[in-house]
Every structure is written in structure tokens, then in C-alpha cells.
Amino acid sequence: MATSTARRRQRSTRLVVAVALLVASAVLVVGATASGSAVLVTVSAFLALALGAAATKITHSELLQSRRDAARDRAEQAQEYARITEKRSRENAEFRTSMEKRIAERQKLIGELEEELAKVQKKAAETTSKLGSEARRAEQAEARLVDADARIDDAEERAAEAIVLAAELEDEVALLKAELAAWEQTRKAKSA
């Protein structure tokens, strides 16, 4: 900042000197013209020409200096931008590396989770298959049980019918024995 302020004062001083030289040459020419002396006008004209050349030289050197300063400022700015760009490139490379690492970790985790999910799904399928098989076996057992119950009911019904039939037959046998006994008594009575 100090250099910038010093440069501004220097430029300002240079331009003031150049303007002062031009004003001095104008006053000299006007004064010589007013005096009416041809020698004085000629000398003042040459002196004005020299002072104008000096003012032009001062202004030109000021212009060149300002261009050099501007070029140096642009070069410094370009170097600063290059440093900033390099720093950002390093930061971007670090960020990219970090992101690639995080993505790789996430991909690995996703792969592991997918493997676990596949195992769980396989186990669930096996369990579902076993449950289905057990359900079929239970249904078959229940059907056999219902069939056995029906056969037991049928057997109990036939047994009840057999008991009734046996009781009827026993009654009939008793009736026939009584008839036989009565017939034998009748025959004995006739034979006697």
C-alpha cells in the first residue's frame, strides 16, 4: 500500500512539473512576443520547444512507468491467481480423493448389506418352504385324523348295530329255546 501511495505522489509531482514547464514556456513566448524583439522571440521559441520536449519526456516517462506498474500489478495478480488456482486444485484433488474413498466405503458397505440381504432372503425362503412342508404334513395328518375319526364313528355305529343284532339274536335264541323246550315237553307228553 505504501508503494502505491508513493507512486501516486510521484506521478502527481511529475505531471505538475510537466504542466509547470508548459506554462513557463507559454509565458516566455507571450512575453517575448510582447517585447517585439525578433531575437527574443526566436530564443523563447527554441526554449519553449525545449521545455515542451522536456514536458513531453516527463509525461512519456510517467506513462511508461504507469504501464510498467500496471503490468507488474497484472503479473502479481496473475501469480496470485495461479497460487489460488493451484491451492484450489490441491483442495479439489484432496476432496475428490476423499469423496472417492467415501464412495468406495459406501459401495463396500452396500455390497456387504446386499450379501446379508441375500442370505436373509435365502433363509426366509428356506423357512417358508419348511413351513409350507410342515403345513402340508399337518393338513395330511388332519385329513388322516378326520378319516380315522370317520372310520371310528363307522366302526362304533357298526358295533352298536352288532350289539343290537346280538341282543335280538339272543332274544330269538331264547325264544327258540323256549319253543324247543315247549315242543319237547309236548312231544314227551304225547309219547307218554
What is residue 34's three-state secondary structure?
A: helix
Q: What is the pLDDT of residue 94?
A: 95
On whether the CB atoms of residues 33 and 41 are closer than 8 A, the answer is yes
Considering the chain, what percentage of its residues have pLDDT values greater than 90? Answer: 35
Mean pLDDT across the stretch 145-166? 89
Residue found by looking up cell 472417492 in the block: 100
Mean pLDDT across the stretch 56-85? 91
Q: With cut-offs at 50, 70 and 90, classify the pLDDT of residue 1.
A: very low
Cell numbers found for residue 90: 490441491
On whether the CB atoms of residues 50 and 30 are closer than 8 A, the answer is no
Q: The pTM is what? A: 0.43
Other beta carbons within 10 Å of 7: 13
Cell numbers found for residue 112: 456387504
pLDDT tens digit sequence for 79-100: 999 999 999 999 999 999 999 9
Which are the contacts of 56, defined by CB distance < 8 A and separation ≥ 6?
Answer: 18
pLDDT tens digit sequence for 91-130: 999 999 999 999 999 999 999 999 999 999 999 999 999 9
Report the alpha-carbon distance of residue 96 to residue 165 in Å, rounded: 100
Rounded to a whole number of angstroms, the distance between the first and last alpha carbons of the chain is: 173
